[in-house]
Amino acid sequence: MNHDQHQSSQNEEDSCESSTNRPLSPWLVGLFILALFWGGFYLAFNSGGFRQDVYESNVVNWAGGGAVAAAPPDPKVVGKRLYSQNCIVCHQATGLGVPGQFPPLAGSEWVLSVAPHAENQLVLLMLNGHQGPMTVKGQSFNNAMPQWKQLADDQLSAILTYIRSDWGNNAPAIDPAFVAQIRKSDGAQSDPWTQAQLMAVPPVKDTPPAAK
Ligand code: HEC
């Protein structure tokens, strides 16, 4: 009797142990596989093919949500962002520069293409930079402006369109196609410009598209 009792409790232990080692419920396995597939499909359809430019911050339209997302980005908004990334340290958020060091863009005859300054000279200045004496709004500067040819045509176009429209400036947009045209014509020049060289380049006027 005693022996039997012992035996039965042993059996209970055995059955208990085997229940923890039981294979997972087929339902749970099924659910897990389903979740994996769902995750896979979700990524495949919502990742934009993992293309970097889908989330390119400079191309994003900040104006609003889904309904206007298809509208082309406003060059002035994009341009302002690029300006804060690339130009603000020298020319300042006010566009006034730093006296004696960095010239103003606000009211600048170079930016506004006031004759004898021209749009193509402005684009050339941006592409290759500038070195040595330069006169802006009657003030003399003798410093160095870095080159920006690493920026794309539409980025340069956006920056120039922006600086020609803020701080009281009011000059027409510079079209990306015009930047591309001037970049092509610029084959021989790789050093920074001097003021004399730049002013010797014959003026070419940008004709912004009628839609703008
Ligand atoms: C490291 C400082 C620095 C940065 C950054 C810089 N510039 Fe300049 N920029 C200068 C200097 C200095 C001159 C004057 C050139 C000289 O003294 O030879 C100048 C001249 C200019 C001029 C012509 C003169 C005028 O004031 O109108 C324009 C236009 C201009 N910069 C636009 C820009 C834009 C747009 C950016 C950004 C993409 C930029 N610069 C970034 C230093 C800088």
At 104-118, the pLDDT tens digits run: 999 999 999 999 999
Nearest C-alpha to atom 7 of ligand 1 is from which residue? 145
Residue 139 has pLDDT above 90, yes or no: yes
Is residue 19 scored above 60 in pLDDT?
no
Establish whether residue 95 lines the binding site of ligand 1, counting it when its CB lies within 6 angstroms of any ligand atom.
no
* Per-residue pLDDT, 58: 57
d(CA 89, CA 50): 33
Nearest ligand 1 atom, CA 87: 37
Among 121, 101, 102, smallest CA distance to 111 is for: 121
Which one is predicted more confidently, 210 or 104?
Answer: 104
Q: What does residue 141 show for φ and ψ, rounded to 5 degrees?
A: -125, 150
78, 90, 111, 125: residue to mutate for ligand 1 pocket, most atoms within 8 A of CB = 90
Tens digit of each residue's pLDDT (9 = 90 or more) over 155-183: 999 999 999 999 999 999 999 999 999 99
Residue nearest to atom 20 of ligand 1 (CA): 145
Q: Of the spans 43-47, 63-67, 126-130, which averages the highest pLDDT?
A: 126-130
- Split at pLDDT 50, 70, 90, the class of 149 is very high
Calculate the alpha carbon distances from 82 to 89, 159, 171, 173, 185 in Å: 12, 6, 19, 16, 25
State yes or no: pLDDT of 24 exceeds 60: yes
Residues contacting 176, CB < 8 A, separation 6+: 153, 154, 156, 157
pLDDT (0 to 100) of residue 67: 54
> Of residues 181 and 46, which shows the higher confidence score?
181
Q: What is the pLDDT of residue 44?
A: 79
Cβ neighbours around 182 below 10 Å, total: 23
